[in-house]
Amino acid sequence: MSSSRLSATRTDEMREQFGERLRESVNLAPYTSARIGGMVDYLLIAKSAKELEEMAQQLWNMDMNFRILGGGSNVLVSDRGVRGVVILNQARKVAFDETSAGPRVRAESGASLGSVSRRSVDRDWLGLEWAATIPGTVGGAVVGNAGAHGGDIASSLEVAEILQQNRKPESWRVERLNYGYRDSVLKNVPGSVVVLEAAFRLKTAQESLAKAKLAEFAAYRQRTQPGGASWGSMFKNPAEKYAGRLIDTAGLKGLQIGGARVSTKHANFFLNLGDASAADVLRLLKTVRDRVDKQFNVELELEIELFGDWDPDEIEGVARQIDGNA
Ligand SMILES: Cc1cc2nc3c(=O)[nH]c(=O)nc-3n(C[C@H](O)[C@H](O)[C@H](O)COP(=O)(O)OP(=O)(O)OC[C@H]3O[C@@H](n4cnc5c(N)ncnc54)[C@H](O)[C@@H]3O)c2cc1C
């Protein structure tokens, strides 16, 4: 996990390989839901699943570290940024089909999950109505088994197109993803798998049922969750408990460090009040985690991912840090 910039030779190679598509030293904050994060050395934007596949293969062939960024709604990007390459996934094609086995949606992985959900609901299709208000892309949701209101990706996905180094894309049926609560086999191998597409098998519902459910879920969110720049839930719910309730009972609602604050509406949501740094958020995360541990003897596990170039000492003890480098 070095914070040194890449060599001039590597930069020349990258320029030669990607030409005008290559952007250098790009601020990642605008590409995240919390609007926080430092600079990435190189940014590439994939506009189709084919382009995403080609970029990933080229980078693997060059032995260049890279990570995919979807909606940036489940990552805390370090103030020091990300070394190597980030591919911003804007592959957004979606196809809706009525098949003999029922309705089916096939989406490129950079499509907005919320939009895929709403467009399915507009057709009175059931199966993704729980996802209408979840930010981010289909790819991010497939990796993290996003879920809400009793639904999740594990219960809706049929198959995902997965790319790995030195292989052609493979169709992985849902069982192979080994889904758990906000967990999958893909989550534990960042940088070495790319979700290209996903297909969901849905059901035709009686008219307006899917729309009514979506409206109910949206109203619930409006009532219980804050607006503003955030990540949604910061911590996973421990077995048979709610992280938000533990944080609330520990008296931590409204706790603020720098520009980061524990929401007063939902204690498992942290907000960037405008000028929070990733370091502020990390300090707040640690403080909340320590206080909950002291009071209830429960070690909260991060739901979000610490992404990019973090100092190992700084993040020690914070559960989910997957990979120091891009
Ligand atoms: C207001 C708010 C509410 C939220 N509510 C919920 C909720 O109810 N339920 C829930 O589950 N989550 C919720 N979230 C969290 C977040 O929306 C989900 O985790 C979402 O699925 C993340 O998708 P993303 O595209 O933003 O992923 P990112 O944050 O961009 O990436 C997350 C991880 O997935 C990897 N990744 C992304 N795309 C790909 C790909 N194509 N191939 C390989 N790896 C990839 C990234 O490298 C990273 O490791 C909420 C967030 C916010 C801001």
**Rounded to an integer, what distance in angstroms lies between the CA atom of residue 230 and that of residue 33?**
6
Residues 106 and 197 both lie in one domain: yes
Surface-to-core class of residue 101, CB atoms within 10 Å of its CB (0-12 exposed, 13-18 middle, 19+ buried): exposed
Closest ligand 1 atom, residue 68 Cα: 47
Per-residue pLDDT of the chain (326 residues; tens, 9 = 90+): 344 467 889 999 999 999 999 999 999 999 999 999 999 999 999 999 999 999 999 999 999 999 999 999 999 999 999 999 999 999 999 999 999 989 999 999 999 999 999 999 999 999 999 999 999 999 999 999 999 999 999 999 999 999 999 999 999 999 999 999 999 999 989 889 999 999 999 999 898 999 999 999 999 999 999 999 999 999 999 999 999 999 999 999 999 999 999 999 999 999 999 999 999 999 999 999 999 999 999 999 999 999 999 998 888 877 554 443 33
Q: Where are the alpha helices (DSSP H) in the chain?
A: 8-18, 49-61, 113-122, 138-144, 153-156, 209-224, 243-249, 278-296, 312-315
User: What CATH number did the domain enclosing 29 receive?
Assistant: 3.30.43.10
The residue from 182, 184, 197, 230 that is catalytic is 182
| pLDDT at res. 227 | 96
Ligand 1 nearest-atom number relative to CA 231:
53
Q: Are residues 174 and 138 in the same domain?
A: yes
CA angle 52, 130, 150 (to 5 degrees): 115
Number of domains in the chain: 3
Same domain, 113 and 174: yes
Nearest CA residue ID for atom 33, ligand 1:
140
- Domain with 298 in it: what CATH number? 3.90.78.10
Q: pTM of the prediction?
A: 0.96
Q: Is 36 in the pocket of ligand 1 (CB under 6 A)?
A: no
CA of 252 to the centre of ligand 1 (A): 25
Determine the structural domain holding residue 243 and report its residue range: 232-303
Any ligand 1 atom below 6 A from CB of 308: no
DSSP 286: H
For the CA of 322, the closest atom of ligand 1 is 49
User: Is 319 domain-assigned?
Assistant: no
User: Do 77 and 145 sit in the same domain of this protein?
Assistant: no
81 shares its domain with 128: no
- Does residue 208 carry a catalytic annotation? no
Do residues 80 and 114 both lie within one domain? no
The reply to whether 78 and 118 lie within a common domain is no
Q: 204 and 281 share a domain?
A: no
Residue 160, token pair as written in the block: 């995902």
Residue 2 lies in a domain: no
Whole-number Cα distances in Å, 205 to 97, 129, 211: 15, 11, 10
pLDDT value at position 5? 64
Would residue 24 show up in a list of annotated catalytic residues for this protein?
Answer: no
314 domain-assigned: no
- Give the pLDDT confidence score for residue 81 in this predicted structure: 97
